[in-house]
Structure 1
Amino acid sequence: MTTETPPSTAAIEDEAVLLIGHGSRRERSNEQVRTLAAELERRLGIPVDAGFLELAEPSISEAIAGLAPAVSTITVVQLSLFAASHVKADVPLAIEQARAKHSDMTIHTGSHLGIHPAIVDLLEERASAVERRLGVERDTDAVTVVLCARGSSDPDANGDAQKLARLLYEGRAFDRVETCFVGVTEPELTDALHATVKHRPDAVVVLPYMLGDGVLTQRVRDRTADFDEEYPYVTVGAGGPLGTDSRLLDVLGDRWQEARTDSVQMSCDTCKYKVELDGYTEDVGGARAMLRALTHQAEHADRDDIDDQPHAHDAPEKHVAVCTNQTCAADGAPAVLERLRQHARDSEACDTLITRSSCLGRCGEGPMVAVYPDGIWYGGVERADAERIVSSHLDRDRIVSELVDQTLTS
């Protein structure tokens, strides 16, 4: 649904996009973020990497450091549904720290997904899928939708959930569309379901307003199933999360355009850090938010020396740089990069950071893949070679000799 004229190739040849997800203990959710990053790269025609706020790697700082050698401009796009503390405090703090560290680089910051027509359309499709499964039709049956969001201590974010539910209701034949939350604020899902069935609908469709198929999405499913078992006189079913639907790329494309043209608009008129809202007057000024963000970062750092902590970001044993400059890119470097990362994630022994690189000076002999601190450069690497490089060199320190282009020693 992007409406602006696409930028010229010359304008974006030195630009990359960093797609920031929250991060999950469920790797399946993190893979969804990486999949969206790969799909967005194909749509925009420029490098798009994924980074995570917490619980997954790479962190925002690591992702920016990985892109820095190859580009001079990074546009950050946030894969967050609403503007709460992560969007207003944690991500801006990480970006400002990155700007200080990479002073020669331009970093644009984009907004969250927010309320967008493509998301409303996607929610309707999710509702229709549940209706088909339950065997009901909204044109003849009284169907109520319960939109279940995560819940936040930020009233602005909770208000956007209410607005999204109303937009889903407008112009559609749903009997009602209600809003509830998994936690933090009210009404919670079970209470909303009890209130909804008092209106005697034929069916209730619960839509988890989550991106990934993570812990919270499963919690929504479980509570919906419990209610359905407890109240057999009404048909109740839960839908799936937004996932990696292509309509999300429409939203991300718009947010990318806004960020790189400095036209990002945030909801400052109802932001608790900027205006006095009843019950939140102590938050005005943003000092509390920044303190919370700094404390959050410190808690991550304190875990670096603790084994088996999902927040820890220890330095990897090896660093692999894949040249994605023009010539190598044309020879298939992006596919090599993606496959190397996939095999590295699948490996239990691989402790490696795999990033893009600017030109390695071996044009025409690529794609080039450099492994450090070993000083091994592989040339003419194909997508099918990625598994051997990971399983042999990165896992067992056995060089793939037939791919070696040159060896650099200190």
Structure 2
Amino acid sequence: MTTNAPAPAQSLDGEAVLLVGHGSRREKSNEQVRDLAATLEGRLGVPVDAGFLELAEPSISEAIDGLAASHDRITVVQLSLFAASHVKNDVPLAVEQARAERPETTIHNGAHLGVHPAIVDLLDDRAAAVEESLGVDREDEDVAVVLCARGSSDPDANSDAAKLARLLYEGREFSSVETAFIGITDPELESRLHTVAKDRPDAVVVLPYMLGDGVLTQRVREHTDEFDAEYPYVAAAAGDPLGTDSRLLDVLGDRWQEARTESVQMSCDTCKYKVELDGYEEDVGGARAMLRALTHQEEHADRTDVDDDPHVHDAPAKHVAVCTNQTCAADGAPAVLERLRQEARDSEACDARITRTSCLGRCGEGPMVAVYPDGVWYGGVETDDAAEIVSSHLDRDRIVSHLVDQTL
């Protein structure tokens, strides 16, 4: 006999990720975000969808609705290079609205890409590709680099571009690494190139610090070509944007882990909405700052300490650093990193933050895993060793002696 009884309600379970891109009128740029989302899903092992702030579909709200239909936890990861108004205002507002509309769904909001060792490595490779095309070698010739970002009205974002440039310079044989912008703020690329030329380098490598190969990247190439024609004694060329390089997945994976464990750290000490900076006094307070303050307070509500200070966090008991530099990476360090994180997530006793780090100076003896504040370094760590490190050392403070490389 046929009945008209309603179907049983669907059980919601599990976590999903929303990768938020800006959105573009160029569908190629939107497809890049979707491609990254699909690849990130394979990396994290959880469903990942793409959503957009504007100019493309689905919107953040629509994407969250789609994921919330079958998942009770959603982590928003932002595909933004720096923390400007979209990161500080627009995405938090969309997340807050989604939380209000879906109180049964846990929604975490992650940070932007920001300054990260994997991005510095990626920029180094982009520079090396340009050097090869020009037939120059930074070890034998003077090679100057200009890192060209979009430019922002937020000094916090612009200062991170300068920090990336400095990190790219440190420890490498470039004659200089300078910062420039394609608009909005100074120094603009054209002016910076003329300044760099005064030092008469053998070559100038221009790195467009953009995700996609769009209008701004093309503008960077045009300025570089004009400079190359004007200064015949300097070989100059522009490199490729970040694109969908796999190292972006490393950064996004870290931002996902921070968000889902409620350990996101924003640069509030230099945020123009929070503190008074010369030239930006009028941005302190007002509706935008209030929005930022409310969302910031809510995200940190259960991590505050005395005097209800939202900037005081409970530090994890241990910090685990996994070397993912070239030698360790070739020996399987990325897999060790992901396995450690998985084991830590599955443990009820583990109170540790697990991050990647650059070279620990033990090349050939890795993958290297350092545990602080204990000062214990493990060497030759394999993926299957991760469970023992977590269950013994991180859970119960029992050093895994057969893996110890050195203690400090």
Partner of 2:144: 144
Residue 43 of structure 1 aligns with which residue?
43
1:101 shift after superposition: 1.4
Give 3-state SS (helix, strand or coil) of 1:264's partner. Answer: coil
Residue pairs, 1:28-177, within 5 angstroms: 28-177=28-177
Deviations 1:172-216 (A, max 9, x none): 000000000010000000000000000000000000000111111
CA distance in 2, matches of 1:58, 1:26: 15
Tell me the distance in 1 between the aligned counterparts of 2:141 and 2:91: 44
Q: Which amino acid aligns with 2:96?
A: E
Asked if structure 2 preserves the Cα contact closer than 8 Å seen for 1:274 and 1:286, the reply is: no
* Preserved CA contact (<8 Å) 1:53 1:91: yes
Of the two structures, which has the highest relative contact order with CA contacts closer than 8 Å and spacing of 6 or more?
Answer: 1
Length, aligned pairs only:
281
Q: Deviations over 1:85-129 (max 9, x none)?
A: 000001111111111111211100000001000000000000000
Partner Cα distance (2:291, 2:221) in 1: 35
3-state SS of 2:144 partner:
strand
Q: What is the letter of the counterpart of residue 198 of structure 1?
A: K
Deviation at 1:218, TM superposition (A): 1.1
The 1:290–1:129 alpha-carbon spacing in structure 2 relative to 1, beyond 3 Å, is farther
Residue 236 of structure 1 is matched in structure 2 by 236
In the alignment, the residues of structure 2 paired with residue 48 and residue 288 of structure 1 have an alpha-carbon distance, to the nearest angstrom, of: 30
1:135-188 residue CA offsets vs partner (Å, 9 max, x unmatched): 000001100000000100000100000000000000000000000001000000
Structure-2 residue corresponding to 1:266: 266
Deviation at 1:231, TM superposition (A): 2.1
Q: CA deviation at 1:61?
A: 0.9
Determine helix, strand or coil for the equivalent of 1:63.
helix
2:4 aligned residue: none
* Alignment TM-score, normalising by the size of structure 2: 0.67
Contact 2:143 2:204 in 1 (8 A): yes
**Partner SS for 2:50:** strand
One-letter amino acid matched to 1:50: A
Structure 2 letter corresponding to 1:281: E
How many Å apart are 1:42 and its aligned residue? 0.3
Alignment root-mean-square deviation, CA: 1.5
Q: Distance in 2 between matches of 1:190 and 1:280?
A: 26
Q: Structure 1 residues 13 and 64, CA, compared in 2 at 3 Å: closer, same or farther?
A: same
Q: CA deviation at 1:291?
A: 8.5
Task: Identify the residue that residue 287 of structure 1 maps to in structure 2.
Answer: 287
Describe the SS at the equivalent of 2:236: strand
Structure 2: 5+ residue runs without aligned partners?
1-11, 293-408
Q: Give the superposition deviation at 1:250.
A: 0.6
Query: Does the aligned pair in 1 maintain the 2:89–2:288 contact within 8 Å?
Result: no
The Cα shift of 1:229 comes to: 1.8
Q: 2:210: which partner in 1?
A: 210
Percent of aligned pairs sharing the same letter: 78
Unaligned ranges ≥5, structure 1:
1-11, 293-410
Tell me the distance in 2 between the aligned counterparts of 1:134 and 1:286: 51
Is contact 1:153–1:185 with CA below 8 Å preserved after alignment? yes
Runs of 4+ in 1 over 3 A off after TM superposition: 288-292
1: CA distance between counterparts of 2:247 and 2:291? 36
Q: Contact 2:93 / 2:291 at 8 angstroms: preserved in 1?
A: no
Distance 2:70 2:243 in 1: 30
CA deviations over 1:18-71 (Å, ceiling 9, x no partner): 000111222111111111100110011110000111111111111111111110
Partner Cα distance (1:148, 1:18) in 2: 28
* Letter of the 1:121 counterpart: D
Q: Which amino acid aligns with 1:228?
A: D
- How far, CA to CA, are the matches of 1:89 and 1:288 in structure 2? 7
The structure-2 alpha-carbon separation of the partners of 1:291 and 1:176, relative to structure 1 and needing over 3 Å to count, comes to: same
What CA distance in whole angstroms lies between the structure 2 residues aligned with 1:186 and 1:203? Answer: 23
Instruction: Check the 8 A contact 1:76/1:110 in 2, yes or no.
Output: yes
TM-score (norm 1): 0.67
The residue aligned with 1:355 is none
- Supply the distance in 2 between the matched residues of 1:163 and 1:282 (Cα, whole angstroms): 26
Distance, in Å, in 1 between the alignment partners of 2:26 and 2:195 is: 32
The aligned amino acid for 1:197 is: A
Q: Using a 3 Å threshold, how does the CA distance of structure 1 residues 42 and 286 change in structure 2: closer, same or farther?
A: farther
Superposed displacement of residue 72, structure 1 = 0.6
For 1:112 and 1:174, locate their aligned partners in 2 and report how far apart those are by CA, in whole Å.
28
**C-alpha separation between the residues in 2 aligned to 1:236 and 1:198?**
14
Contact 1:85–1:289 under 8 Å retained in 2:
no
TM alignment of 1:280-359, pairs within 5 A: 280-285=280-285, 287-288=287-288
Q: Name 1:183's counterpart in structure 2.
A: 183
Q: Aligned to 2:91, what secondary structure does the other structure show?
A: helix
Q: Give the secondary structure class of the aligned counterpart of 2:124.
A: helix
Q: Is the 8 A contact 2:17 2:46 kept in 1?
A: yes
Q: 1:42 to 1:114 in 2, by over 3 A?
A: same
**In structure 2, distance between residues paired with 1:147 and 1:220:** 10
Question: Aligned partners of 1:272, 1:141: CA distance in 2, in Å?
Answer: 41
CA contact 1:26–1:215 (8 Å) conserved in 2: no
In 2, Cα distance between the equivalents of 1:217 and 1:164?
18
19 and 103 in structure 1: CA distance in 2 versus 1, 3 angstrom threshold: same
Counterpart code for 1:127:
A
One-letter amino acid of the structure 2 residue matched with residue 104 of structure 1: E
Tell me the residue number matched to 1:255: 255
C-alpha separation in 2, matches of 1:120 and 1:140: 22
Maintained 8 Å contact 2:274/2:289: no
